Each structure stands twice: as structure tokens, then as C-alpha cells.
Amino acid sequence: MNIIYEDNTHLRKFFHHYAKYGTIIRNDISNHLIKLVEEDSYKIKTAGKMFYKSHRILEYKIVLDKDIFCRVAFTIVWNTIHIIFISDKIRKNTYCSLLANTNIID
């Protein structure tokens, strides 16, 4: 399974702000997310009723540190995971509101 990080300001800002966790996030996505997708895990949830390029947006949570978490929004197209948005807002309602207010969703 391939992973593509979409080129958008939201991802750039997040990785700039959390630069010291960049490697942890990318490793988790490369290893853990792929495993969760293949297992059709309950940890992957839909991000409201939102779509990106006509594909439903999914999300899951990453633990970065004992007090720091983030949610990752992505889509799956054929055999490729497209990472489109990451936020440190882990409450589902807040996260979905932030995502809905971006210019990246359909």
C-alpha cells in the first residue's frame, strides 16, 4: 500500500509546528495506519460526511507523547492512502469542524 501526503498548507503548518514529532507521525502512518487499513480496524472512523475528491474522508488518532495526540484525515483510493489533514484537536466535533472549514473538502 502506498502513502501520499497531499501538498497543502494545513499539512505544512502542522509539520512545521510539530517538527520534533514529524518522524514519529510518518512512521506511525507508514506502519500502523497501513496495518489498521488492512485489518479494517474499528480505530478508523469516518470524518463526518465529508469527501475529498469524491472519496469519503476517514480518520484515526495517533499518540505522540503521553499528553500529545493528533488526528489524521485520509482517503483511500485503490491501493493508495492520501493523507490530507492532521490536527492536534482530538475531540471529534472540534476536529470535524476544523476539517469542514478548510478548502480541501468537496
State the pLDDT at residue 66: 84
Q: Is the pLDDT of residue 1 over 90?
A: no
Q: How many domains does the chain have?
A: 1
Q: Is residue 106 part of a domain?
A: no
pLDDT category, 15, cuts 50, 70, 90? very high
- In 3D, which of 45, 76, 75, 77 has the Cα closest to residue 60? 45
Contact between 76 and 55 (Cβ < 8 Å): yes
Q: pLDDT digit string (tens) for 45-93?
A: 999 889 999 999 999 999 888 888 999 999 999 999 999 999 999 888 8
Q: Is residue 105 part of a domain?
A: no
With 0-12 CB in 10 A as exposed, 13-18 as middle and 19+ as buried, what is 24?
A: middle
Q: What is the CATH number of the domain that holds 17?
A: 3.30.2310
Residue with cell 485489518: 39
Q: Residue 39: which residues within 8 A CB-CB, separation 6 or more?
A: none
pTM given for the model = 0.92
Residue at 38 is within a domain: yes
